[in-house]
C-alpha cells in the first residue's frame, strides 16, 4: 500500500504481489487474519495510522516511535488500548556484526565492559528524505537513535545524559545534523556518541563504527551502509585480546549486513513472538518508549547551557 497507487503497483509487479492499495482501510479489509502490519512512514504519521489497525493485530513500526516523547506516549497508549503486539524496527540490534560481538560477550571474551563508543563521520545526502525538510528534529531522532537504542540493549538505561546537537551551514534548512553525547552509567564506564554527516571530503577519513572495550578484550564493528551512502560498503567485525600486539586484531566472519538482515531480524523476532516460539520481544513498543525517553533527555540536555567558563580576575 502506498498513497501513490502507481508506486504500489510498480513494486507489486516486480514481486508478483496480487493486490495493491492506496488507503489503509482497504488494506485492513483484505488482510488475512495472520497478517503483520509493516508500517514504514514518517514518524509523525504513526498516531494517525494505528487507529485504523484492527485490535489485537501484530504491528512492526518503522523508527522512530513518533517525533517527540509526547507522540511516543500517545503511540504507546494506542498500542496498549488496542491490544496490539507491536514492535519498532530498531534493526541495528539484529545487524549480523552486532550479533557476532554479542556472541563474544556471552562467551566471556570481552570480560567486564567499561567503555562503549559510537563514532560516525560520513557524508549523508539528507535530501533523499524530503519529509525531513520540515521535521523539527533530525540527527538524533532519525539516525543516532539507532546508536542510543543499541547502547540501551547492551547497558540498559543511563543515569543521566549530556548532549549537544547542532545544525551545519551546508544544510541550513534542516534541524540539527551533528551530535555529541555522553551517557553517564556511573563507576568507570565511559559511553559516548559522536555523529556528523557532512564530511564531504572523500572517503579516506570517513568512519562509522561501534567499539566495545572490556577487561579481557575489545571489539569493533563498522556500519558500512553509512560509508558511500546509499551504495555502502560491507559491514565488518573485529576482535582483539587485551595486551596483544599491534597487528592482533582478528577479522570475524559477518554473514550479511544491517540491510536487509537487521530488518529481517526485527520482523522475524516479532513473528516468532506472535507464534509463541519465543517468550521475549526485545524491540517491543514498551522498550522502544524507553529509547524515546532517552532521546528526549538528549534533546533537553542540548537545549540547556553547559558549565560557564569562569576566568576570574
Please indicate, yes or no, if residue 310 is contained in any of the structural domains. Answer: no
Compute the distance between CA of residue 81 and CA of residue 75 in angstroms, rounded to an integer.
10
Shared-domain flag, residues 239 and 151? yes
Question: Phi and psi (nearest 5°) for 107?
Answer: -80, 0
Query: What predicted TM-score, i.e. pTM, was given to this entire model?
Result: 0.95
pLDDT at position 1, please?
Answer: 94
The total of other beta-carbon atoms located within 10 Å of residue 208's CB is 22
Give every strand in the sheet of 190-196, ordered side by side.
160-166, 178-184, 190-196, 113-121, 207-214, 217-222, 236-241, 250-251
Shared-domain flag, residues 204 and 267? no
Shared-domain flag, residues 84 and 99? no
pLDDT at position 245, please?
Answer: 82
Compute the distance between CA of residue 116 and CA of residue 2 in angstroms, rounded to an integer.
40
> Could you tell me if 290 and 152 are in contact, meaning their C-beta atoms sit under 8 angstroms apart?
yes
pLDDT at position 97, please?
Answer: 97
- Residues 205-247 have pLDDT tens digits of 999 999 999 999 999 999 999 998 989 999 999 999 999 887 8
Q: What's the CATH number where 144 sits?
A: 3.30.360.10
Domain boundary among 224, 242, 259: 259
pLDDT at position 13, please?
Answer: 96
Helix (H) or strand (E) holding 286: helix 285-303
Domain boundary among 212, 243, 259: 259
Shared-domain flag, residues 59 and 154? no
Compute the distance between CA of residue 37 and CA of residue 86 in angstroms, rounded to an integer.
9
Sign for the CA dihedral angle at 256, 258, 259, 265 comes to positive
Please indicate, yes or no, if residue 309 is contained in any of the structural domains. Answer: no
Q: How many domains does the chain have?
A: 2
> Could you tell me if 64 and 86 are in contact, meaning their C-beta atoms sit under 8 angstroms apart?
no
pLDDT at position 147, please?
Answer: 98
Shared-domain flag, residues 53 and 201? no
Q: Which of 215, 234, 237 is CA-nearest to residue 225?
A: 234
Shared-domain flag, residues 84 and 219? no
Compute the distance between CA of residue 271 and CA of residue 260 in angstroms, rounded to an integer.
16
Range of the domain at 135: 92-259
Shared-domain flag, residues 83 and 134? no
Please indicate, yes or no, if residue 187 is contained in any of the structural domains. Answer: yes
Shared-domain flag, residues 96 and 75? no
Shared-domain flag, residues 188 and 116? yes
pLDDT at position 37, please?
Answer: 97
Shared-domain flag, residues 21 and 163? no
Compute the distance between CA of residue 309 and CA of residue 84 in angstroms, rounded to an integer.
50
The total of other beta-carbon atoms located within 10 Å of residue 22's CB is 15
Question: Phi and psi (nearest 5°) for 206?
Answer: -75, 150
Compute the distance between CA of residue 128 and CA of residue 134 in angstroms, rounded to an integer.
13
Please indicate, yes or no, if residue 294 is contained in any of the structural domains. Answer: no
Question: Phi and psi (nearest 5°) for 267?
Answer: -65, -45
- CB-based contacts of 182, cutoff 8 Å, min separation 6: 161, 162, 163, 191, 192
pLDDT at position 312, please?
Answer: 80
Please indicate, yes or no, if residue 301 is contained in any of the structural domains. Answer: no
pLDDT at position 223, please?
Answer: 96
pLDDT, tens digit only, all 313 positions of the chain? 999 999 999 999 999 999 999 999 999 999 998 999 999 999 999 999 999 999 999 999 999 999 999 999 999 999 999 999 999 999 999 999 999 999 999 999 999 999 999 999 999 999 999 999 999 999 999 999 999 999 999 999 999 999 999 999 999 899 999 999 999 999 999 999 999 999 999 999 999 999 999 999 999 999 999 998 989 999 999 999 999 887 899 999 999 999 999 999 999 999 999 999 999 999 999 999 999 999 999 999 999 988 888 898 7
Compute the distance between CA of residue 281 and CA of residue 286 in angstroms, rounded to an integer.
10
Query: Rounded to whole angstroms, what are the CA distances from 43 to 60, 67, 73, 298, 313?
Result: 13, 6, 13, 18, 51
Q: Which of 125, 12, 69 is CA-nearest to residue 292?
A: 69
Question: Strand runs (DSSP E) across the chain, as ranges?
Answer: 36-39, 58-61, 85-88, 113-121, 160-166, 178-184, 190-196, 207-214, 217-222, 236-241, 250-251
Please indicate, yes or no, if residue 292 is contained in any of the structural domains. Answer: no
Cell numbers found for residue 114? 567499561
Shared-domain flag, residues 248 and 277? no
Please indicate, yes or no, if residue 124 is contained in any of the structural domains. Answer: yes
Q: Are strands 217-222 and 236-241 parallel, antiparallel or unpaired?
A: antiparallel
Shared-domain flag, residues 200 and 246? yes
Q: What's the CATH number where 266 sits?
A: 3.40.50.720
Please indicate, yes or no, if residue 173 is contained in any of the structural domains. Answer: yes
Amino acid at each position: 500500500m502506498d498513497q501513490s497507487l502507481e508506486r504500489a503497483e510498480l513494486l507489486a509487479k516486480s514481486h508478483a504481489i496480487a493486490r495493491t492499495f492506496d488507503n489503509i482501510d482497504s488494506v485492513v479489509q483484505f488482510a488475512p487474519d495472520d497478517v503483520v502490519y509493516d508500517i514504514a512512514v514518517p514518524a509523525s504519521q504513526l498516531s494517525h495510522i494505528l487507529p485504523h489497525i484492527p485490535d489485537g493485530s501484530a504491528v512492526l513500526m518503522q523508527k522512530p516511535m513518533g517525533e517527540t516523547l509526547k507522540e511516543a506516549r500517545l503511540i504507546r497508549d494506542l498500542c496498549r488500548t488496542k491490544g496490539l503486539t507491536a514492535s519498532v524496527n530498531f534493526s541495528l540490534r539484529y545487524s549480523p556484526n552486532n550479533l557476532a560481538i554479542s556472541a563474544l560477550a556471552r562467551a566471556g571474551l570481552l570480560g567486564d565492559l567499561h567503555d562503549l563508543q559510537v563514532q560516525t563521520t560520513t557524508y549523508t545526502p539528507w535530501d533523499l528524505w524530503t519529509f525531513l525538510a520540515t521535521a523539527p528534529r533530525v540527527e538524533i531522532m532519525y539516525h543516532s537513535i539507532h546508536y542510543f537504542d543499541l547502547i540501551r540493549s547492551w547497558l540498559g538505561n543511563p543515569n543521566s545524559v549530556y548532549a549537544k546537537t547542532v545544525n551545519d551551514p551546508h544544510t541550513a534548512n534542516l534541524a540539527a545534523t551533528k551530535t555529541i553525547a555522553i551517557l553517564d552509567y556511573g563507576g568507570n564506564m565511559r559511553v559516548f556518541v559522536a555523529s556528523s554527516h557532512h564530511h564531504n571530503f572523500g572517503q579516506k577519513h570517513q568512519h562509522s563504527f561501534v567499539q566495545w572495550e572490556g577487561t579481557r578484550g575489545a571489539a569493533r564493528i563498522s556500519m558500512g551502509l553509512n560509508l558511500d551512502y546509499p551504495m555502502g560498503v560491507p559491514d565488518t567485525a573485529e576482535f582483539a585480546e587485551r595486551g596483544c600486539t599491534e597487528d592482533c586484531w582478528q577479522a570475524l566472519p559477518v554473514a550479511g549486513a544491517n540491510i536487509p538482515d537487521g530488518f529481517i531480524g526485527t520482523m522475524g523476532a516479532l513473528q516468532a513472538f506472535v507464534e509463541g516460539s519465543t517468550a521475549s520481544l526485545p524491540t517491543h513498543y514498551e522498550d522502544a518508549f524507553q529509547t524515546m525517553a532517552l532521546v528526549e533527555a538528549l534533546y533537553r540536555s542540548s537545549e540547556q547551557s553547559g558549565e560557564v567558563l569562569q576566568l576570574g580576575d
